[in-house]
Structures are given as C-alpha cells and as structure tokens.
Structure 1
C-alpha cells in the first residue's frame, strides 16, 4: 500500500473493521439476520458471510459506496426503530440503482467504528489522484490472482489472471513477458515485478505512435513539442504554452523530466487518460450558463412516478426513489396522492399492487434532499386524487414541513408577464397542481372554498382529462379542490391544453399543461413550429404513455426538439433514454437545468425540427470519429473462460434528420486492449440539440449483443483531438479504468 494506505490502516476504526464484526443485516421487519463483515487487507473490499453458511460469501468494494447514513435513515430501519435504537443503526448507500444495505451493530461503539471507518475509506477513494488510482487497480489484480495468498504469482496464476482481465493471449507471448519481469529468475513474480509485468502488458502502441509523431528523440516531449501537439491535435490554440507547463507539472511522474520541462511517454499517457484528456470540455463541467432567464427557457431534468423503485404494477413505492432521483440532479418530482387511513394522505400508483408511503414522509425527504445536488428550484408535481378534507391535510404538511422553502407568494407582488428565473428561485420548491382562479385574483379573497364542476373541468390537468388515461382519472377530474392547497400554487398552475391558437390569445405564462408522449408527438407532427413557439412562453410537461406498465421510457430527444422543458422519465429504469437524460444534464454543473438554444427562446421563432435547414443561422457540421482502441473493458459473462468480442457503436440523437448510427467491426477475444482504428463520419444539421452516445457491445452472431458500457454527452460539449471516453455501466455509474481512445475532428461542411 502507499504511505497513505499504511496510515489509514493504523486508524482505530479501520482496525475494528479489519478484525471483523457481526452485524445484523435487515431487509424488513421480519427479515433480520446476523452476518459476519470484515474489511480485507487491500483496504478496499468488504467481505461478508453468514457465520454458519458453507462456502458462500459476498464482497463489495468501497468504491461502490456513495455514503453512510447514521441512525434510522431508511424505511426499513424506521420500521424496527422500537426494537433497535438509532445509535446501533446505519445504512450503506451504493452508487447507481443497487439497493442499500441496512445494518445494526451490537454496540454503539461498533456502529461508530463502521460508520466513521467507511466514511474515511470513501473519502480516500474519492481523493486519489490518477497515479494512486492506477496503483490501487494493479494491487487489486495482484490480490485477486494470488490464489494461494503467498504474496507471489507463478506463471499458472498469471495465465488465470490474463483470462480474468479479459485478454486472450498467446501463451508464448505471455511467457515472454513473464520471464522479462521475473528478474530474479525464481519462477514467480513479487509485487514490484508484477507492476513491471503489468506495465509491459498495458504498454499502448497506439499512444506511443502519437507520442513519436511529436517527439524528436522518441524518449520525451520537450515543452515546445508538447505545445505543438496541443495546438495541432488538441485544437487548443493560443493558451497552449502555459497549459503545456501545467500538464507536465500535473501528470509527469519523473522528477528528472519535470526539471527538463519535458514529458515522458508515461506522463503523456497519464495526461491522455485524465479528466483533461477526456472527451468532455472541462469548462462545460461547471455551472457556465446564464441562469437569469425565465424557467420556460430551460430544459429541466424531470422524473415520472418518482415514488417507484421498479415497475408500476407491482413495484415498491419508496422514499429511497426520491432520494436517488434528487441526488442525480432531478428538478421535477411527481407525487400521486390518495386518501389514506386516519386522514393521512398516502402516495402510490393508484389501483395497483404497488406499496404505499405517507405523503408527509415524502415531503420530509424532499426537504432534506431537494438541494443537495443543485441549488436551483424543484417543481413538485402533484397528481391529486384526494378528498377535500385530505387535501387540507396535504396543504398543512406542505406549509409545516417545507416552511420558507415553499414558494407561496409572487416574487415582487406583481402578476408576471414571464416566468421567474432559476436564479431568482434558488432554494425554492414550486407546487405544480390545479388552482382555483388565476394569479390575477390572487389578492381577491372573495373566492369560495370550493369550485363548481364546470370551473373545475376547465382547470383540469391534462393528465386527468387525457383520452389515454383510465376512467377513474376522468371521474376524478370532477372532484372538488381545496382552497388551502390551491393557495399554495403560484407559478405552475396545471391547466387543460386548449390548442395553440387558444394559448396564443388567452394563456398565462404561469399555466402549465401536461401531454402524454403520443399527444406530444401528434402535436409535433401537425404543428412543430407552433409547439416550439408555445414552449418559449409556457412550461410543458410530457410523460410516458399509460400503456408502459413496465415503466419503460420514450425517447426524450423528440420532446426536447420541440422545446418541451419538463420531459418526465422513469428514473428507475436504466437504458438508452436515461443515458440521454444523464448526457444532456451532465453539463452546467449537473444542476438539472440546461438553457435551450437561442432559436428556441425567441417567441417569434420559425424553427421546426423537421426542417432544420430553414432556420436562420443554419450551419451543419461534420463529425468525424476515429475509434482507435479500448482499454480494460469489463467482462459481461463472468464464466471462467469467456472473453468479450467488442465492437463500438456511435449514435447521434437529435432532430429527425440527425438521427444516425454506425459501428466498427468486432474484435475477437480481447476486452483488454482491442484496437479498431476505424473512422465513422456523421453530418449534424442542428448541433445545438444533438447528443452523441458511444456504446460498446460484446458481439454475438447467434443472439443479441451484450451491453458492455456507454457514454453520452451533448455534441456542444465535445473536445476535438485525441481523447479518452471513460465508460459508464448500465446504471450510469463509472467503471474505471474502462475507456475508449478516439480522435475527433469537427469541421464545417464545405
């Protein structure tokens, strides 16, 4: 281990974890079982098994963990709160969609040791630099392959290791590398020799060739040679001298080279694999957009049926689903409210077998997590099926729990001509629901407590009256509205959509309509430009068809191309659609708001996604991607002998004319360092709306290819030049050090 590693192992909390503890794993009120947990010697792997089980055990890595929650901070632990006090309980929270682990220790001291110890280890993994990360990665492989745990590896173990690492290597070549590394000629490699073996194994000819093009002596890049590379290949222009110096300072491991102001091949490879060498423009990672425009000028990361962790027929309703969506930067969450027992409203997917959670618990969760990932406003979209009595209870909870967070008044006391901006609404929660009357009567207290059926129908949310929805929703549309709840709605009054003509002459900027995916697509086909214009002034929410009982998603790109802001997706369902959502919102500090292109913010715009060439300022671009190689791709099939046959597909998602995909050929039996050297070309008509998705698959001629990894980003965030693409899992979480190495050029069409 590095010095930091040995220091952390001296920590008393870490020592308790390494000695091991019996902790109670809790899945429900009735499922509570003792498991023996301990931290392994690598300081990164947590191993556990039942004390009595035979050989079965499980492990997970600290890098899989996102946080530790102390006390009763999950529904499961809350349900057993009377049996186990808070100081014994904690929850390990995993990245992505993996379920959390609820645990109960035998004493408060033991609980603290695990809580503080795991937090330290998470912090350590998050603060490692590239070199430490690589060292740790090599060390992990050594421990995995050293089957007899003697701290050495013989050739048989090395052959097994190569299979584990996803590489099918000619035995003579493997033996040649092994012999070169075995300097002591003992027939086995110790850790230092293994590092040398690993270095030879991972030596990348394709990076060496690029290095050779710019290095005069073939050994190092002098400052001006590195500068030349940055300006010619990486398109960095003016600031390349200073940048070249910074890169040497940051990534060059050799002090000798640093003193000469030069970069070795090792340093060059480190730079190319770093965040700065990644495909994503570093300046677009942070909050870089103007946040002072009306809400209707932004795409807003939005969730549908937020309370569900699985499908909408039998899935579990859970507060955890809200936490996960909010942590991913979601800024519009949905709450389906129904009458509960004892006048306490509940949240679930009505008329199905999904479990129920209390409305007040959802609001408490919202209060705690709303602004952890982003400080910009959260829209709380209420689908209201409650009686007037229980709506009053909802209003009470909203006021009591959220307090000042809930925006219940007009910002300047004036009826707005346009919506306020994300900047003005920082830290605020907006209620999206039906409202009695409009903001014009806001100060007029003459309204009665309840509205007539006719008025109510006119105010009806599109979801309630949609022809696709169920009869119970339509009958519900005639229900009464509570004045208390209505008064909490300010900038997001749900109304039925009455057509673009009606909207132009009568609609108010604070009125919002919802469209099912099929209704939105129909309107897009019939009146694309009208839809884009409408969305410059008002918010639109789109949601998946009621027929998607498996909680699958529609392609959000179709809706964004119309300027729809609140494109609600099932965040609980991984796949292409969520990749696109994550890709769009990866920019601008992951704050959940992305400004629309200028031609979608102008109220008189003539833009139509179907005719991109007709807009003012139309300038198509050519995107050329040379897919060079892949690095350490994960195994898809964990069977001992199986190795992937990878191919790379590049997909463009944008206006209809831009939808395209192309792929490389597949490479047999090599997921470790496949080299393709194939170029894929695309023409992009509306670059401002295009997303580019890189997908790696395991080719299978007999059945569907297996997914290996992907990465999606907005076209406008791409850095040209030699770049690495750091792949993500199906869940959207990192799978280091898996990557693709590409060379990208973007040019105007001549």
Structure 2
C-alpha cells in the first residue's frame, strides 16, 4: 500500500486537490450552514480547517479517526437540506467512537468526488499499515511536531521540547548524552535518520531485553528450542510450543539470516510481544468460537437503552445516527420509544421531555439497513409503545413493508415452542419485543394485558417533571393494543412479572419481563438462585432508572451474575459501565451474543452470593506483575505538563470477586514508566469475572485524571508476558499506548 507521501510523489490527483484546499460548507442543521476552508496537511494524515473570519484560530483532525465516508444524502442533516444541495455535492465523514459526524457540501461534483476518494484512500492506507510502518509513521509525526522552524533538522532545544511533548521529563544531562549519541554527523542537529536513531535509543525496551536474556544463552538470539522453552514456561502454551515457535519466527523475525538459522532476534521478540498474539486478550477468542445453537435465553445479549438518544434524556438529540452507532458496536437489542405524531405518523423520542423527535419510519429504515452489518445474529426491537391504536396500525404496516423478510412474523417451524430458538436459527431476523394479545397457541385465552397500558416498563422512564413540556400535562392514556402489531410479536412477548414461582408454573418460554435496575438488583440479592433458574428458561430485560436524567449507567455486572440476558445500557454514555459491556462482548467475534456459563444454563443450583456451594467449584489465583508502560497519553495538553501514572487493576464478578489494587505512581514519566509491582487476586467464579486495567494520572490535590483502560473477560486472558493495548474513555484505540505485564493463573490449593 502506498504511503501518503508516495501518493503525493506520484501526483495522486485527489490528494493534490485536498492539499490545495477547498471551501466546503459545514452543515449542522437546516439553519446552520457555514463555509470553512479545508485542506490536507503536508503529513498526508491531518485535515486542517478554519472559517475565513476566525483569525488565527483553526481546527484539525486525523484521517485515522475517520471510520468511513458516506456519499450523498446519507445522514439526517444532509437529508434535511436535500432540496437545497444535490446529492452529488454532499458527503459525510463518520468518526470512530462517540464523536459526531462532519457533514460537508462541496462547490462542484468533481470536487466532492476528489475529497470522497482521497479520504477513502487515506483511511485504507492507515488501516493497512503493519506495526513497523505504524511506528515509522509515529516517529515522522513527532519529528514534524518538534521541528518548529521547519528546516528538516532538530537542535537540542527542539529535542528538549519534544521530550516534554512525548510525556517524559528527562534529566538535561542524560538527554544531551542521548542527543550526542544520535548526532553521528556532529553537526549539533539531528536530521531525519539521526532522529530515528535517537528515537530508537529513547525507546529501547530494557524490560523486554531482560526477559529475552533469561532464555537466550548467547544474549543475541533465541534458538528454536529456547523460544519453545519460553512459550512453554512463561506463556503456558504446552504441547503446541514447538510448532508455534517456528510460526512466530516466520511471522515476526525481520532478519533473514536469523530466520534461516531458525532463531529469533530481540527485534523479532519485541515485534511478537507487541502483536495481537502477544496481547493479553487471546486473539482466538476474538473470532466467533462459541456454540450458537443454544436457546436465546442461554446467552448474554449486547443491549441498548433509549437507543435513539445521542446525549441525555431531558434535552438530548434523538437521531437515527444513534441507532447506527449502537448497531455498529454490536448491540443486538435496541429500544424504540413510540408516541403519536402529526399527520398520523408515529414519532420516536423520550416522552414528556425536550428531546427532539424523529419519525418511526426513519428509525425502522435505518434498522433495516444497518441491523446485520456488524453481526448476522438476530436483533430484538424493544418497543416502548405509547401510541393510539390507529398509529399502532401504522407502525405495524411500516415494520412489515420496510423490513420485509427480515421481520420474524411467526414461529420458525409453525409450532408453539417448548424452548426459545437459537441465535443460529434466527440469523438475519429482527424480533419484535412488545405486548401481545393472547399467545402463540390459538387455544390460549386473551390476557388482560390487551387492555393494559401498552408500555411494559413498570417504573416511569423519566422523573416527575410536569413543567418540562405541555405534553406532560396529559397523562398517558390507557389504550388497547392493535391486533396488527400484536401479531408481529413471536418470541418476545412482554408480560408483567409476578414472582419466580408464578413464572415457573405458568409462564411460556417466549414470555419475558422487564425490570427496573432497582427491582432487578433486589431480586438478585434476595433470590439469586431462583433468578438464575428463571433466566435459564426465559429472557429478562433490565433498564436504567428513570431518575438517570443524564443518561448515566448502572453497573451491569450484578445482573449478569444472575443470568439476565438483556442488560440495557445508555451506549452513548462513556465510562466504567460501558467499558465492562465492551469488555464482555469483545469476545466471540463481537457478534453481540456471549454464551452463559454452563451452570447458568442447566439445573445446577448456582447462588452468586455463595459460589463455593457449586459442584466442581475451584478458585483461582490471578497474579499480575505490572512491569512498565509505553507512550502513555497526555492528559493536560499544556506543553510543559507531564503525567504521574499509576495502574489500577479492578476485578468485576460475583460479590466475593469484586476487588481493586493499584501500583504506586511514577513521577513525571508517561513515556516509559517502570513499576515492577505485583498485584494478587483470588477469583471464585472465573467464568463471570472481568478484569479492568486502568491508567490514571496521580494528583494529590484532586481526583486522579483518567488516561486509558482495557477490560478483558477473565476466561479470555492469555497468561505470560503480555501487552495491554489501551483504549480511550470513548473506547477507541490510543496508538502505541501499552502496558507490559506478566500474568500468572494457578489453582488455589488451600483457601486464602
């Protein structure tokens, strides 16, 4: 793949257009459309833009942060101005994480095409880089930032500034020593190759060299036998070590000479340990590897609450984009709050609040387009229905016509099920979760739910706030459920929860209940074993308290501990709770379904409060030596600011497993801090445990600042010497930012 520089050199026409710059309209709404001057910078990866009135003020973003370019009217904003701007002038840049889209309008179709093609080439270039190219790129970026006078050389003063920018406060004498070592030409300045040498000296991994030399007899290479010993003894790979050792040499060793000798150099060893194979999360667990033929109730299902919201639930924006983001993250259960709208068209928004409204029709169109792009397994459409019978009929018609064959309308084999079908059986299907008149069996009597309020959430979704809008003056009218909408409900019939005993005696497998977080937590605490049994047969959905007006989240772990499948979170809100959700669902191909442990699927008596009573119970010791950090992100962007990092390891699982321990903090070094501290934990239910690594900037006067985190299911951890590739608060990767750890897992022979 050509680099941006080589594309420039070849005279790539699209990149030349971008480099020359263009006046593009930035569109935020029908009434907010402003000209901005955009141009691609010399590095070929940064786009710079400013308004013509902004003086020296400008903004930039990296092309690496752009996930995809949509062409034409493929966003709500551009659709709203479709009459004013033809589709061939319009395009949308969609960013990774939770950052909003950038909607742009070019002055001519050819200019729009040049930018669309150019950005796509640069995205493809960024995604196809290997590790070495990524590091080279990183070095080049730092060189560009530090070369203040742009003469292609760096004097010692510029290098001192660079070190602070890179998050390291180095003794001036030592910095000068490194500078002199790299300045081979003795010119008092570092040119390009000399700067690369300086970077290599700066980033030399003494921590990794020590590990290497423990197994290398000559200190220069690892023979095939020595590498096999390392894989067996440290990485706990067992029988496949011989074969894997050869594979690693073939894959990561850069020296052809070493390859021919069947050996690995320190460079190859380092490349292996920073690769996905050397990561703490076993790459084999990242692929689809679980049995997908079990009943739906046997899986945890990635779920979103108030999916239409981009922000908070009082004044936030409702948007189809929120559904796209949730589905892209692997959500397999999304929520739609429906209310009567004008012109006989149902609308979606958070009732009795100032959140904006979108058409139900548009939500379903978006669902039809994006439901199966990230995963082929079924999507559950959780309907929070506040509509009149007339508009419910409109909803049923829209679901039917827009979704077509994707919408499940009847049981798969035409029979009343004794257990729920599997995700495999329901591939490519959208299931409606709502109230239903009667059941799947024609002989079933009509229940009084046909005349209940059709919304199935027992707790109010928003606080009592009559002054929020005129609509709040009208209490929800009890309304009947339309037969047309009822007939579309098959395996997810919403019913009121009476008790576990009632459910065991009377409930059908396709009936499911919704619980507020407080009700679910109380049931989990008081009757955990019964809740686990209930959830082995039927689906349960848990939703956040209506008092969470800021769209904050509750900890989902307590509910997973009793087998609740649909633990719905506000996916638009970053933080610990979403880190846990992302961590749990990072396994099994990110398909949105994770098979529950076998003791939650069968008739075992599992009590999360007393895990040691379970048959076959064994506790494990988890020992984590936090060795070092590499290129940790800056928190404060002020030039002289440098972090004081510490690492905290947090365990989430059953109550006996909840634990936190942290290292000491390192003064003024976010570039290559060294801890060498060991943290120990006892894990009673490894199948439910999540391990979260958090890096913070220590502050004795106030709360520590978050720097990065990574959350991994305990059962997906690779033991041995591993790198943890840190994620931002938003869940996106922080380039080259890692922790180096040594993980040991062993059985506890006597209770500690």
Category of TM-score, reference length = shorter chain: over 0.9
2:659 corresponding residue in structure 1: 660
Do the aligned partners of 2:463 and 2:547 also contact (CA within 8 Å) in 1? no
Q: Give me the whole-angstrom Cα distance separating, in 2, the residues matched to 1:492 and 1:476.
A: 24
Do the aligned partners of 2:71 and 2:90 also contact (CA within 8 Å) in 1? yes
Q: By how many angstroms is 1:167 displaced?
A: 0.3
Do the aligned partners of 1:302 and 1:568 also contact (CA within 8 Å) in 2? yes
1:498 corresponding residue in structure 2: 498
Do the aligned partners of 1:621 and 1:683 also contact (CA within 8 Å) in 2? yes
1:205 corresponding residue in structure 2: 206
1:521 corresponding residue in structure 2: 521
Do the aligned partners of 1:464 and 1:477 also contact (CA within 8 Å) in 2? no
Do the aligned partners of 1:67 and 1:93 also contact (CA within 8 Å) in 2? yes
Q: Give me the whole-angstrom Cα distance separating, in 2, the residues matched to 1:363 and 1:237.
A: 50
- Deviation digits for residues 642-679 of structure 1, max 9, x if unmatched? 10000000000000100000000000000000000000
SS, match of residue 441 in structure 1: coil
Q: By how many angstroms is 1:52 displaced?
A: 3.6
Do the aligned partners of 1:459 and 1:494 also contact (CA within 8 Å) in 2? no
2:370 corresponding residue in structure 1: 369
Do the aligned partners of 2:634 and 2:670 also contact (CA within 8 Å) in 1? yes
1:738 corresponding residue in structure 2: 737
Q: By how many angstroms is 1:466 displaced?
A: 6.8
Q: Paired residues, what number?
A: 742
Do the aligned partners of 2:453 and 2:480 also contact (CA within 8 Å) in 1? no
Q: Give me the whole-angstrom Cα distance separating, in 2, the residues matched to 1:9 and 1:657.
A: 61
Do the aligned partners of 2:453 and 2:479 also contact (CA within 8 Å) in 1? no
Q: By how many angstroms is 1:42 displaced?
A: 1.5
Do the aligned partners of 1:461 and 1:513 also contact (CA within 8 Å) in 2? no
Q: By how many angstroms is 1:319 displaced?
A: 0.8
SS, match of residue 478 in structure 1: coil
- Deviation digits for residues 289-345 of structure 1, max 9, x if unmatched? 000000000000000000001110111111111110000000000000000000010
Do the aligned partners of 1:459 and 1:495 also contact (CA within 8 Å) in 2? no
Range moving further from structure 2, 707-716 or 222-231: 222-231
Q: 1:467 to 1:246 in 2, by over 3 A?
A: closer
1:535 aligns with 2:529: no
Q: 1:700 to 1:678 in 2, by over 3 A?
A: same
Q: By how many angstroms is 1:8 displaced?
A: 6.3
1:122 aligns with 2:116: no
CA root-mean-square deviation? 1.8
Q: By how many angstroms is 1:288 displaced?
A: 0.2
SS, match of residue 35 in structure 1: strand
Q: Give me the whole-angstrom Cα distance separating, in 1, the residues matched to 2:452 and 2:523.
A: 21
2:387 corresponding residue in structure 1: 386
Q: Give me the whole-angstrom Cα distance separating, in 1, the residues matched to 2:460 and 2:572.
A: 24
Q: By how many angstroms is 1:455 displaced?
A: 4.3
Q: Give me the whole-angstrom Cα distance separating, in 1, the residues matched to 2:343 and 2:627.
A: 64
In the TM superposition, what are the counterparts of 1:225-304 in structure 2 within 5 Å? 225-304=226-305
Do the aligned partners of 1:458 and 1:495 also contact (CA within 8 Å) in 2? no
Q: Give me the whole-angstrom Cα distance separating, in 2, the residues matched to 1:3 and 1:63.
A: 13
1:20 corresponding residue in structure 2: 21
- Deviation digits for residues 88-146 of structure 1, max 9, x if unmatched? 00000000001110000111111111111111111111111111111111111111111
Q: 1:198 to 1:214 in 2, by over 3 A?
A: same
1:134 corresponding residue in structure 2: 135
Do the aligned partners of 2:3 and 2:125 also contact (CA within 8 Å) in 1? no
- Deviation digits for residues 410-448 of structure 1, max 9, x if unmatched? 100000000000000000000000011100128x9xx9x
Do the aligned partners of 2:635 and 2:705 also contact (CA within 8 Å) in 1? yes
Q: Give me the whole-angstrom Cα distance separating, in 2, the residues matched to 1:477 and 1:329.
A: 35
Q: Give me the whole-angstrom Cα distance separating, in 1, the residues matched to 2:664 and 2:419.
A: 52
Q: By how many angstroms is 1:162 displaced?
A: 0.3
2:469 corresponding residue in structure 1: none
- Deviation digits for residues 477-527 of structure 1, max 9, x if unmatched? 731111111111011000100111110110000001000000001111221
Q: 1:438 to 1:693 in 2, by over 3 A?
A: same
SS, match of residue 680 in structure 1: strand
Q: By how many angstroms is 1:257 displaced?
A: 2.0
Q: Give me the whole-angstrom Cα distance separating, in 1, the residues matched to 2:197 and 2:120.
A: 33
Q: Give me the whole-angstrom Cα distance separating, in 2, the residues matched to 1:241 and 1:169.
A: 42
Q: 1:33 to 1:475 in 2, by over 3 A?
A: closer
1:512 aligns with 2:506: no
Range moving further from structure 2, 676-685 or 235-244: 235-244
SS, match of residue 183 in structure 1: coil
Do the aligned partners of 2:24 and 2:37 also contact (CA within 8 Å) in 1? yes
1:221 corresponding residue in structure 2: 222
2:637 corresponding residue in structure 1: 638
Q: Give me the whole-angstrom Cα distance separating, in 2, the residues matched to 1:94 and 1:528.
A: 41
Q: 1:85 to 1:441 in 2, by over 3 A?
A: same
Q: What TM-score does the superposition give when structure 1 sets the normalisation length?
A: 0.97
SS, match of residue 381 in structure 2: strand
Q: 1:546 to 1:465 in 2, by over 3 A?
A: closer
Q: Give me the whole-angstrom Cα distance separating, in 2, the residues matched to 1:571 and 1:711.
A: 17
Q: 1:462 to 1:499 in 2, by over 3 A?
A: farther
Q: By how many angstroms is 1:258 displaced?
A: 2.0
- Which ranges of structure 2 fall in alignment gaps of 5 or more residues? 467-471
Q: Give me the whole-angstrom Cα distance separating, in 2, the residues matched to 1:285 and 1:680.
A: 26
Q: By how many angstroms is 1:462 displaced?
A: 4.3
1:101 aligns with 2:102: yes
1:174 corresponding residue in structure 2: 175
In the TM superposition, what are the counterparts of 1:709-724 in structure 2 within 5 Å? 709-724=708-723
Q: Give me the whole-angstrom Cα distance separating, in 1, the residues matched to 2:454 and 2:104.
A: 46
Do the aligned partners of 2:461 and 2:545 also contact (CA within 8 Å) in 1? no
In the TM superposition, what are the counterparts of 1:214-613 in structure 2 within 5 Å? 214-441=215-442, 454-456=448-450, 462-464=456-458, 476=476, 478-602=478-602, 604-613=603-612
Q: Give me the whole-angstrom Cα distance separating, in 2, the residues matched to 1:169 and 1:188.
A: 19
SS, match of residue 439 in structure 1: coil
Q: 1:22 to 1:113 in 2, by over 3 A?
A: same
1:58 corresponding residue in structure 2: 59
Q: Give me the whole-angstrom Cα distance separating, in 1, the residues matched to 2:234 and 2:604.
A: 38
SS, match of residue 534 in structure 2: helix
Range moving further from structure 2, 119-128 or 705-714: 119-128
Q: What TM-score does the superposition give when structure 2 sets the normalisation length?
A: 0.96
- Deviation digits for residues 189-239 of structure 1, max 9, x if unmatched? 111110000000000111110011111111111221111111111111111
Q: Give me the whole-angstrom Cα distance separating, in 2, the residues matched to 1:745 and 1:576.
A: 25
SS, match of residue 276 in structure 2: coil
1:621 corresponding residue in structure 2: 620
Q: By how many angstroms is 1:467 displaced?
A: 11
Q: Give me the whole-angstrom Cα distance separating, in 2, the residues matched to 1:8 and 1:613.
A: 64
1:698 aligns with 2:692: no
Q: 1:363 to 1:666 in 2, by over 3 A?
A: same
1:68 aligns with 2:69: yes
2:669 corresponding residue in structure 1: 670
Q: Give me the whole-angstrom Cα distance separating, in 2, the residues matched to 1:662 and 1:357.
A: 46
Q: Give me the whole-angstrom Cα distance separating, in 2, the residues matched to 1:20 and 1:258.
A: 47
Q: Give me the whole-angstrom Cα distance separating, in 1, the residues matched to 2:475 and 2:27.
A: 42
Q: 1:709 to 1:46 in 2, by over 3 A?
A: same
Do the aligned partners of 2:386 and 2:455 also contact (CA within 8 Å) in 1? no
SS, match of residue 366 in structure 1: helix
SS, match of residue 551 in structure 1: coil
Q: Give me the whole-angstrom Cα distance separating, in 1, the residues matched to 2:420 and 2:474.
A: 30
1:78 aligns with 2:72: no
Q: Give me the whole-angstrom Cα distance separating, in 2, the residues matched to 1:540 and 1:309.
A: 25
Q: Give me the whole-angstrom Cα distance separating, in 1, the residues matched to 2:275 and 2:617.
A: 35
Do the aligned partners of 1:220 and 1:262 also contact (CA within 8 Å) in 2? yes
Q: By how many angstroms is 1:476 displaced?
A: 4.0
Q: By how many angstroms is 1:283 displaced?
A: 1.1
Do the aligned partners of 2:385 and 2:455 also contact (CA within 8 Å) in 1? no
Q: By how many angstroms is 1:611 displaced?
A: 0.5
